[in-house]
C-alpha cells in the first residue's frame, strides 16, 4: 500500500501543478477511477491504511475545487466528480456523506454548477433527503448573510421542481447510493445510535424543516412566485403539519396583487383539507377584483380556474356567487375581448350551479336596469354586503352589442334559454387578442355572387377617332 500511496502523492502533485484544462480532466478522471476501485475493493476500510488513503482522498477533493474555481474544469464535469465522491463515501466506504452535501450547498450560488447538479437532487431520494436535512444548518456553514439569501433562493428553485409525494417508506425507492434502487440505500438516515423514525416520516420532517427555513428568508419576488405556484401541489402534501404554513400563506394573501393570486390555491388547500379557519377568505378573493387589472394580466386564466373551484360548493350563500358574477360582469365592460369570452361562460356556469342567482338574469330582462338605478355597490369590499343579489346582470346585455362579433355572439347566450348544462371553461381560458384575430382572419367565407354586363370602354373612343 505504501507504493500506492506514493503514486497517489506523485500523481496528485502533478495534478496540482497542471494548468491545461484537457490534461487536468484526464488526470483527475484517472485518479477518481482509481479511488473508486480502491474503495470498491475495501482498501478504504483496511486497518492501518484507512487514514492515509482518506487523507489523500480529501486532498484530491480540495484540488478539484481549486481547478474548478480556475475554470479548468467545466461545471457539468465538476458536478459529476462531486457525485462520484458521494458515491465513494456513501456506497463503498459506508460513511456519512452529509459533509459532501454541505460542501455542494456552499457552491450552489454558482448558476452553472447549480443547473448541472440540480437534476440529481430532484431525481434521487437519498441525495434529496440529505439536502433537506442540511438546509436548516446553512447559518452554521460559515457563509456570509448575503450568501445565505442567495443560497435560499437557489435551493427554493431546486426544491420547487420536486413533485414527488412521500407517504410511506416504499415511496422512497429511487436512490443514488446503493447497489439497487431500494430502501437499503437509505440506511444513512439512521446512522446514529438512537431509535430513528420510519424513513417516510423522517423525510417529511426534514422536508418541513427545510421549507420553513427557506420561507423565512428573503426569497425575492421571482422565486416567491415560483414557490407559490407549486405550494399547494408539491409542498403542502409532504408536510407533517401543514398548519405551520398558515401564517406565511395568510401574509401572502394580505400582500395583494400577483402574490395573493398565486397563494389562493394554497390557502384553499389549508381551508378545505387541513382545518384552517379563515372567515375572510372570499372577501380577500373578492378584493382581488377591485379593478380590472387581473382580467388583463397573464394570470387571468389561473384566477378564473381557481375561482370556479372556490365557488363549486352549492352550500355557499347565494350572495357570494352573485357578488362575483356581478363584479366580473361590471369589469367586463372595459375588459379586453379575450377576457370577456371567458367571463361570460364562467358566469353562465355559476348561474347554473347556483339557481338562486338566476334572478340576476330575470331582473335584467324584465326591468331594464342600468347603472343609474343599480343598487350594487362596487366600492363595498364584503361580497355579502354589496347588494349584488338585489341587482341584475344588465352589463351582459350591453356586451351583446360589443364591437367584436365573437364577444357579442357569446354575450347573447344569456338571452337564450338555459338549456346547456355547463360550458367547459378550459375552452375559453386561452383566448387573447391574437387568438380572436386569427380565428376571424382564418374564417372561411362565401364570396358573394356578382352579376354585371361587361363593357368595352374603348368602343366609343375608337368611334370618335374614326369620325
pLDDT in tens, 222-250: 999 999 999 999 999 999 999 999 889 88
Q: How far apart are CA 395 and CA 301, in angstroms?
A: 21
In this prediction, residue 406 has a pLDDT band, given cuts at 50, 70 and 90, of confident
Give 25: exposed, middle or buried? Use CB within 10 Å, 0-12, 13-18, 19+: middle
pLDDT value for 182: 42
Closest CA to 300 of 258, 329, 268: 258
Residue 198 CA to chain centroid, in angstroms?
A: 29
In this prediction, residue 141 has a pLDDT band, given cuts at 50, 70 and 90, of confident
Closest CA to 234 of 311, 138, 181, 157: 157
The mean pLDDT value for 434-455 works out to: 69
- On whether residue 369 sits in a domain, the answer given is yes
Q: Count each helix (H run) and each strand (E run) in the chain, helices first.
A: 21, 0
Cβ atoms 68, 105 nearer than 8 A: no
- On whether residue 221 sits in a domain, the answer given is no
- On whether residue 312 sits in a domain, the answer given is yes
pTM confidence score: 0.81
- On whether residue 121 sits in a domain, the answer given is no
Number of separate domains in the chain: 1
The mean pLDDT value for 193-210 works out to: 80
Give 150: exposed, middle or buried? Use CB within 10 Å, 0-12, 13-18, 19+: middle
Phi-psi sector, 17: left (phi>0), alpha (psi -120 to 50), beta: alpha
Residue 48, pLDDT > 60, answer no
The mean pLDDT value for 94-107 works out to: 86
pLDDT value for 72: 92
Residue 147, pLDDT > 60, answer yes
pLDDT value for 228: 94
* CA dihedral for 33, 102, 68, 61, sign (positive or negative): negative
pLDDT value for 464: 53
Q: How far apart are CA 227 and CA 216, in angstroms?
A: 13
Summarize pLDDT for 384-397 with one digit per residue, the tens.
Answer: 999 999 999 999 98
More confident residue, 98 or 79: 79
Cβ atoms 219, 256 nearer than 8 A: no
pLDDT value for 165: 93
- On whether residue 357 sits in a domain, the answer given is yes
CB atoms inside a 10 Å sphere around CB 424: 9
Summarize pLDDT for 245-273 with one digit per residue, the tens.
Answer: 988 988 888 888 888 889 988 988 888 88
Residue 75, pLDDT > 50, answer yes
Could you list the residue range(s) of the whole structural domain that residue 310 is in?
280-432
The mean pLDDT value for 150-159 works out to: 94
In this prediction, residue 367 has a pLDDT band, given cuts at 50, 70 and 90, of low
Closest CA to 135 of 105, 164, 107: 105
The mean pLDDT value for 83-92 works out to: 86
- On whether residue 380 sits in a domain, the answer given is yes
Q: How far apart are CA 436 and CA 87, in angstroms?
A: 55
- On whether residue 115 sits in a domain, the answer given is no
pLDDT value for 162: 94
- On whether residue 200 sits in a domain, the answer given is no
Helix (H), strand (E) at residue 119: helix 111-123
Amino acid at each position: 500500500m505504501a507504493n500506492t500511496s506514493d503514486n497517489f502523492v506523485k500523481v496528485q502533485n502533478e495534478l496540482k501543478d497542471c494548468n491545461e484544462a484537457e490534461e487536468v480532466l484526464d488526470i483527475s478522471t484517472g485518479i477518481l477511477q482509481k479511488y473508486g476501485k480502491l474503495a470498491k475493493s475495501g482498501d478504504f476500510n483496511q486497518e492501518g491504511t484507512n487514514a492515509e488513503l482518506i487523507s489523500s482522498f480529501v486532498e484530491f477533493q480540495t484540488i478539484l475545487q481549486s481547478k474548478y474555481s480556475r475554470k479548468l474544469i467545466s461545471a457539468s464535469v465538476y458536478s459529476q466528480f462531486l457525485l462520484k465522491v458521494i458515491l465513494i463515501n456513501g456506497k463503498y466506504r459506508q460513511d456519512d456523506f452529509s459533509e459532501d452535501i454541505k460542501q455542494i450547498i456552499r457552491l450552489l450560488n454558482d448558476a452553472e454548477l447549480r443547473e448541472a447538479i440540480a437534476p440529481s437532487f430532484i431525481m434521487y431520494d437519498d441525495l434529496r433527503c440529505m439536502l433537506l436535512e442540511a438546509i436548516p444548518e446553512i447559518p452554521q456553514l460559515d457563509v456570509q448573510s448575503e450568501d445565505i439569501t442567495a443560497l435560499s433562493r437557489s435551493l427554493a428553485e431546486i426544491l420547487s421542481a420536486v413533485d414527488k409525494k412521500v407517504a410511506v417508506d416504499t415511496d422512497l425507492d429511487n436512490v443514488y447510493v446503493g447497489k439497487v434502487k431500494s430502501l437499503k440505500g437509505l440506511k444513512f438516515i439512521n446512522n446514529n445510535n438512537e431509535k430513528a423514525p420510519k424513513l417516510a416520516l423522517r423525510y417529511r420532517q426534514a422536508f418541513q424543516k427545510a421549507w420553513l427555513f427557506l420561507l423565512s428568508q428573503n426569497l425575492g419576488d421571482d422565486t416567491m412566485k415560483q414557490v407559490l405556484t407549486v405550494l399547494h401541489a408539491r409542498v403542502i402534501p409532504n408536510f407533517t403539519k401543514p398548519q405551520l404554513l398558515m401564517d406565511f400563506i395568510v401574509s401572502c394573501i394580505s400582500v395583494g396583487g400577483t402574490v395573493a393570486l398565486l397563494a389562493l390555491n394554497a390557502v384553499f388547500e389549508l381551508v378545505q383539507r387541513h382545518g384552517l379557519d379563515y372567515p375572510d377568505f372570499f372577501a380577500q378573493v373578492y378584493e382581488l377584483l377591485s379593478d380590472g387589472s387581473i382580467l388583463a394580466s397573464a394570470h387571468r386564466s389561473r384566477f378564473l380556474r381557481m375561482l370556479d373551484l372556490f365557488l363549486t360548493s352549492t352550500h355557499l350563500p347565494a350572495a357570494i356567487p352573485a357578488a362575483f358574477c356581478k363584479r366580473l360582469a361590471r369589469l367586463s365592460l372595459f375588459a379586453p375581448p379575450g377576457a370577456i369570452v371567458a367571463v361570460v361562460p364562467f358566469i353562465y356556469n355559476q348561474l347554473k350551479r347556483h339557481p338562486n342567482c338566476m334572478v340576476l338574469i330575470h331582473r335584467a330582462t324584465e326591468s331594464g336596469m342600468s347603472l343609474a338605478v343599480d343598487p350594487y355597490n362596487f366600492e363595498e369590499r364584503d361580497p355579502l354586503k354589496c347588494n349584488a343579489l338585489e341587482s341584475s346582470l344588465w352589463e351582459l346585455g350591453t356586451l351583446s352589442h360589443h364591437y367584436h362579433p365573437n364577444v357579442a355572439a357569446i354575450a347573447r347566450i344569456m338571452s337564450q334559454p338555459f338549456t346547456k348544462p355547463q360550458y367547459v371553461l378550459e375552452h375559453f381560458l386561452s383566448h387573447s387578442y391574437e387568438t380572436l384575430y386569427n380565428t376571424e382572419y382564418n374564417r372561411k367565407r362565401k364570396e358573394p355572387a356578382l352579376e354585371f354586363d361587361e363593357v368595352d370602354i374603348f368602343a366609343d373612343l375608337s368611334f370618335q377617332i374614326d369620325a
